[in-house]
Amino acid sequence: MSKRSAERFEWRILGAGAPGRAAPESKLRLGVLISGSGSNLQAIIDAIEGGALPGVEIALVVSNNAGAFGIQRALKHRLPVIYLPWRKLPAGSALQEMTPNEAQLAGLLSFFRVDLVVLAGWMRILSAPFLEQFANRVINIHPALLPREGRGETYTLSSGETIPALRGLHVVKMALDAGLKVTGSSVHYVIAEVDAGPVICQQEVPIEPGDTEESLHERLKEVEHRLIVEAIRQFRR
Ligand code: GRF
């Protein structure tokens, strides 16, 4: 390639509105991280396309799972989507520094000028150094009720009853196994402690007799689809 056409090529890929360069518009740009079905991603897409999230756009979708159905959802809506193979760290590894995968992710998020990172069913833990780089700009959806201020072992229901704050994987099953009458979903800021950041919004969901993990999780997801849109609205420009 001649020097002149190389310059023109560079101009084309770095032109206004391209990734890596400030765009003329000032929409809130989301980076949505997924690992699975992507129904929450779909709720965000529908809200944007339906006009319920003016001033917001999805800049990038990242999946650590090549088979995630959420990738198909993103492609159907012509969104930039990247599969980022994520290396599992040995159990018990302390994430004291950014992993090579996180460095790749941080680079992608900054190249696509992401303002707010939404963990929408993202099944990988992020390290403190990564989260420091995106301080107060990473939010997560959790299918259980977390204490409003983040930390703490219990949640007080609107009825005044106290239930355990369920954290980690399989919390829908944990709610059933614990015989709870009410559980719920929360959208919260992500901090270096798992499922412990301050809550942005949440809603209680009654557990019905005969509920299975699947039926309860489906009802929780219906609630999450509204909550995640409400949470993003609070960051809108
Ligand atoms: C949601 O229930 C969310 O709370 C949890 O993972 C699930 C993701 O579902 N963190 P989907 O992939 O958005 O359908």
Q: Each residue of 17-46: pLDDT tens digit?
A: 455 555 556 899 999 999 999 999 999 999
Give me the pLDDT at residue 196, please.
94
The residue whose CA is least distant from atom 7 of ligand 1 is 121
Confidence of residue 92 (pLDDT cuts 50, 70, 90): low
pLDDT at residue 206 is higher than 90: yes
Catalytic-residue membership of 142 = yes
Give me the pLDDT at residue 1, please.
46
Give me the pLDDT at residue 14, please.
40
Which residue out of 142, 170, 188, 225 is catalytically annotated?
A: 142
Distance 44 CA to ligand 1 centre (A): 13
Strands of 39-175 (E only): list them: 56-63, 81-83, 116-119, 138-142, 154-156, 162-164
Q: Is 121 in the pocket of ligand 1 (CB under 6 A)?
A: yes
Q: What is the mean pLDDT of the chain?
A: 90
Give me the pLDDT at residue 10, please.
40
Contact assessment for residue 149 and residue 198, using Cβ atoms and an 8 Å cutoff:
yes
Give me the pLDDT at residue 97, please.
84
| Cβ-based burial of 216 (10 A; exposed 0-12, middle 13-18, buried ≥19) | buried
Give me the pLDDT at residue 19, please.
59
Confidence of residue 169 (pLDDT cuts 50, 70, 90): very high
Give me the pLDDT at residue 22, please.
55
Distance 217 CA to ligand 1 centre (A): 9
Confidence of residue 6 (pLDDT cuts 50, 70, 90): very low
- CA 143 centroid distance within chain: 12
pLDDT at residue 74 is higher than 50: yes
Q: Which atom of ligand 1 is nearest to the CA of 185?
A: 4
Average pLDDT over residues 113-122: 98
Report how far residue 194's alpha carbon sits from residue 168's, in angstroms, rounded to the nearest whole number.
Answer: 7
Q: Which atom of ligand 1 is nearest to the CA of 123?
A: 10
Confidence of residue 89 (pLDDT cuts 50, 70, 90): confident
Distance 121 CA to ligand 1 centre (A): 4
Q: Which atom of ligand 1 is nearest to the CA of 37?
A: 12
Q: What share of the chain is helix, strand, coil (3-state, %, to 5)?
A: 30, 20, 45
Phi, psi for residue 82 in degrees, rounded to 5: -130, 130
